[in-house]
Copies of this chain bind each other. A is one copy, B any other.
Amino acid sequence: MKYNKIIKKVNNELVAFGNLGNVASYIPELSAVNTSKFGVHLTTIANQHASFGDADEKFSIQSISKVISLTLAYKIEGENLWDRVGVEPSGTPFNSLVQLEHDLGIPRNPLINAGALVICDILITHLSSPKEDFIAFIRQVSGIPTIDYCNRIAESEKSVGYKNAALINLMKSFGNIKNDIDVVLDFYFNLCSIEMTCKELSQTFLFLANYGVCPFSKEIIISRSKSKRINAIMQLCGFYDEAGEFSFKVGLPGKSGVGGGIVAIHPNKYSIAVWSPKLNEKGNSYKGIKFLDLFTTETKFSIF
């Protein structure tokens, strides 16, 4: 299969760029990871696979789970969702709190922390057992029944989660959080703690490359129109303050996490996951972004 060849070729080129950056140090558990780990897995909508390196090792997907929680909340709430969270990129990070004040507690989009907290609040309102129901949904989407939370990571994040507590309290003061703050934060930190391998992550996101339909089970996870809109949000908001750079260089909708994972999808083609723990100064995997940059250059295909 040709993708295997391209991945190998790109990995040879990648050596020249080293393994720069630093692991996320503010979360005690994440800073202990082996920084030389590197894995890639690509799954096509025809269920072909290409793999490289540590593609079968679990890592913490962190913020990448925000796309799946958004999917479930969007499925439940429909377009009403957008009364409580925007779809615009967030601009410079230094104004996250002032933006919330300016916009009266409405976060700019569902992929920044503030927005993901609102999504968690919405899910808690609708789900009878939020944690159980959510992990069941992610297992359904991916077709992998063993995907789970990591308690140790969740607790580690909770122990230093003051910035998120500041955000949620500010939104609560504007009335944009309906449930108990501690319950929402607990759910949020659990979502961030989910662990997957590159292969699992690439399979989990494949429905977004397939217009909302799980290519394995043929189940409609979400409508074609909503699936495209989630991709549009990933394109504009998936990489914090580096969304433009990623669009510019890689040209695919995607999402990164501070655990060093990145997933990107090419509509109607494939879903690809990369993992390398060291982060650049914008908080995205240094080697992961370089890999995808070279990979789409090599394939000559992007959405643009």
Contacts and interface: CB of A to CB of B under 8 A. Distances in A.
A15 interface: no
Contacts of A237: 244
B97 A248 contact: no
Contacts of A66: none
Interface string A74-117: 00000000000011111110110111011100001100000000
Given A232-B247, A248-B232, A172 B162 contact: yes
A37 to B, nearest CB: 28
Nearest to A228: B304
Nearest to A26: B173
A243 interface: yes
Contact of A92 (B95, B166, B232, B233): B95
Contacts of A248: 87, 229, 232-233
A202 interface: no
A241 interface: yes
B92 A99 contact: yes
Interface residues of A, number: 55
A253 interface: yes
Interface string A251-265: 101000000000000
Given A95-B95, A98-B94, A162-B170, A228 B244 contact: no
A127 to B, nearest CB: 24
Nearest to A302: B228
A267 interface: yes
B87 A89 contact: no
Interface of A: 86-92, 94-95, 97-99, 101-103, 108-109, 160, 162-163, 165-167, 169-170, 172-173, 181, 224-225, 227-229, 231-233, 235-237, 241-245, 247-249, 251, 253, 267, 297, 300, 302-304
Given A92-B108, A229-B251, 16 more contacts: A87-B244, A88-B245, A91-B108, A92-B99, A92-B103, A94-B98, A94-B101, A94-B102, A97-B98, A97-B101, A166-B169, A169-B169, A228-B251, A232-B247, A233-B247, A235-B247
- 9 tightest CB-CB pairs across the interface, nearest first? A91-B91, A162-B173, A89-B89, A88-B244, A166-B169, A231-B304, A165-B169, A166-B170, A97-B97
